[in-house]
Structure 1
Amino acid sequence: MKALIAWAQATRPARVFAHFGARSASVLAGGMAYSAIFSIFAGIWLLFSVAGIFLATSPELRDGLIGVLNSSLPGLIGEDGAIDPSLLENTGAFGWASAIALVGTLGTALGWLAQARTGIRTIFDVPVATKRNFVVQKLVDLGFLLAFAIALAISAALTVLSSTFLSSLLETVGIDESSGFALVVIRIVTVLILLAFDTVVLAGILRILAGLRIPTRSLFFAAFLGAIIIGILKQISTALIGGATSNPLVASFAVLLGLMIFLNLLCTVLLLTASWVKVTMDDIGASPRLLTAKEAREESTDTILRAERQKIATEVIEARERLNSAPRFFRWKAMAEYRSLLREQRRVEAEAQRRRFEGGRV
């Protein structure tokens, strides 16, 4: 039995969950979800305000975008959802309200990205702060937001185009687009597009946003697993929210509560994906740090110096205890050893102070 337990604990999934728990990742996920909930509604308003001129002339694209958003965040938009779709049709052109929403959205979104980066880098046991300065980091975050918006639009367009293409193709071969077979095929294609979208987003968050060096194979395999779990969560959340909204007693807050729970689970999956990558990289001996050869040598020097400081501090304590317990007429030898260690400790501390002035982490 002990052998079976030891084997189970040594498996990668068990080590992933152990690493996840050891870094208090559930607390980090809760903070990320709390930050995310505030940026969603302003972001939706801003998205439809900016893209309103294009969506007004293409109802199919608007419906496709709403479908992608609902697939990503179940229960967000709909007659029984948190946002009535008819309100999004009347957002109007980009104006003062949209400008205010832009400021609020950018602030909350950048805050969420910062929290996500902190959580992921905590999972990887690397310093929370990246080597980028503040301005460059915010520009990277803004670029990531822009790339996410573009990817979302592309995903919506692909969903619409694939549905149209498949409907035409099935009609050409004599299959009614409203038949069960046609609906299943279209649904499978839509799910695959969303799966690819989630995989790319997860990979981008881990590598670009967090600023980590991750082997491509390990990155996309973990991102693919995370995307599958997210897809399952979407289906479960859709069913649960749909059932909750049918109850008039809880319908008024069920969607918002369900959205908060879903965001918490989403952030948890993100950090679990990061934990999977971290454990995988530990197994192959890969480092997530983006270090040059010079920085790697300095990191090694600092590590050795930290160990030397700890070693000499321990030896000084032991020498002091031997000095205090030595017989009165034999203390001279213990005193000589103690003073020698003190001189060595001062030398090591001076070296550590010099490294700190040079930017080392000793």
Structure 2
Amino acid sequence: MASTKTAPKKTDEFGIERVTQDEPGVIDGYREKWPWFDHVMRMQERYGTMGGNQYAAGITYFSVLSMFPILMLVFAAVGFVLANHPAAVVEVQERINSSVSGDLSEPVNRILDTAIAQRSAVAGIGGLTALWSGLNWMNHLRYGVSMMWRADPTEGNFVIRKLRDLLGLIALLLALIVAFGVAAAGSSGLTEILLEKLNLSHIPGITLMVFALTLVIGLLVNFVVFVGLLRFLPRTHVPGAAAVKGAILGALAFEVFKQIGTVFFSKALDNPAGATFGPIIGVMVLFFFVWRILLYSSAWAATTEESLEQTHTPVPEPAVIRVRNDVDTVPDPKASAALIGAGAAIGAAGIALARKLTGR
């Protein structure tokens, strides 16, 4: 009878079995043949085994939660500016009445009046809640990125961690504003206005050249942002070469997503349903994919050759053998006989008493 051979199980550098969807040996053959494909599979395995999608969803929740106090600060800032310019308030209200259709203009104007009247209270409450929710946001973001490196996200001094999270929160907000601002400037009508003011709109192909220039600038900004995030967020040492490789992947994916996102937002706000529900849904989708890109880039950087070389597989603790003697006590025969005799005597007395009471 012919014997069948089973392909040996493949494990990664941490001893976790590789899960393949094809017949045994085919995917492993591709991995041995193409190093880049092996790296892609290592990235996917790291992202999947460490719960990348779950962390991306959780970070998205805290990101959206942090937006409301940040918007409170924005409204407070607008209130401080408009409080000293009554003419600007009238102009803003007229623009609201002309832009917002139906009965929505009245509540929007009331919100504006409230923001101006209670600007100090809104700034105080918004500042405290923005600080609290923003630090939680950064903590969960750092937690998810650290897990892609299989690092303990709770290491270090608590106060130092919170100070780093505060600096990271400010830098992250500025980086996102710059990154999306470059993409919006390249795909909006702002460039055309600038070209007309500079008398350059008549040059053939100038619009395409400006778009290409903004695309290159956007890629460079993305690269710098991702290098900073990949070096700053994980609670472990990140090799510089690994951070650069992860930042290249993140910059390209992020730029593609930004270009698609600007088209989505411009189209989604054209209809009433999109104008009502599109912004919040779009923001949630935007954050979810941004954090997925960051976590995938972290998994890519964490599975480079440079990162794997510095990974130390934890040595299991030595086994401790404890010898325990269990002694079974044997009852004394004389004591056992005495107990049996006493039980028989009690039983006989009980029977005699029962017969006497029943008259037998």
TM-score (norm 1): 0.60
Counterpart of 1:15 (choices 27, 42, 47) is 42
| Change beyond 3 A, Cα 1:28–1:151 | closer
Task: State the one-letter code of the partner of 1:29.
Answer: A
Cα distance in 2 between the residues matched to 1:170 and 1:255 = 32
Cα distance in 2 between the residues matched to 1:104 and 1:273 = 30
Secondary structure, counterpart of 2:304 in structure 1: helix
With 199-208 and 258-267 compared, the bigger mean Cα shift is at 199-208
With 212-221 and 6-15 compared, the bigger mean Cα shift is at 6-15
* 1:33 corresponding residue in structure 2: 60
Q: Which runs of 5+ in 1 are unaligned?
A: 56-77, 288-298, 324-362
Cα distance in 1 between the residues matched to 2:184 and 2:260 = 24
Task: State the one-letter code of the partner of 1:263.
Answer: F
Counterpart of 1:253 (choices 272, 277, 281) is 277
| 1:179-214 Cα distance to aligned partner (Å, 9 max, x none) | 662322333333333333332332222222333311
Cα distance in 2 between the residues matched to 1:215 and 1:244 = 41
How far the C-alpha of 1:158 sits from its partner, in A, is 8.4
Q: Report whether the alignment pairs 1:42 with 2:85.
A: no
Q: Report whether the alignment pairs 1:125 with 2:158.
A: no
Contact 1:155 1:193 in 2 (8 A): no
Secondary structure, counterpart of 2:303 in structure 1: helix
Counterpart of 2:291 (choices 267, 286, 307) is 267
Contact 1:199 1:224 in 2 (8 A): yes
Task: State the one-letter code of the partner of 2:28.
Answer: A
Contact 1:39 1:109 in 2 (8 A): yes
Contact 2:47 2:295 in 1 (8 A): yes
* 2:28 corresponding residue in structure 1: 6
Cα distance in 2 between the residues matched to 1:235 and 1:159 = 7
Cα distance in 1 between the residues matched to 2:213 and 2:100 = 25
With 242-251 and 5-14 compared, the bigger mean Cα shift is at 242-251
Counterpart of 2:318 (choices 308, 325, 328) is 308
Cα distance in 1 between the residues matched to 2:201 and 2:306 = 52
How far the C-alpha of 1:114 sits from its partner, in A, is 0.6
Secondary structure, counterpart of 2:47 in structure 1: helix
* 1:138 corresponding residue in structure 2: 162
* 1:193 corresponding residue in structure 2: 217
Q: Report whether the alignment pairs 1:278 with 2:288.
A: no
TM-score (norm 2): 0.61
Cα distance in 1 between the residues matched to 2:283 and 2:179 = 21
How far the C-alpha of 1:21 sits from its partner, in A, is 0.6
Secondary structure, counterpart of 1:212 in structure 2: coil
Counterpart of 2:138 (choices 113, 137, 144) is 113
Larger Rg: 2
Identity among equivalent pairs (%): 22
Q: Which runs of 5+ in 2 are unaligned?
A: 1-22, 33-37, 83-98, 326-360
Secondary structure, counterpart of 1:224 in structure 2: helix
Cα distance in 2 between the residues matched to 1:53 and 1:136 = 34
How far the C-alpha of 1:239 sits from its partner, in A, is 2.7
How far the C-alpha of 1:151 sits from its partner, in A, is 4.7
* 2:247 corresponding residue in structure 1: 223
| Change beyond 3 A, Cα 1:228–1:49 | farther
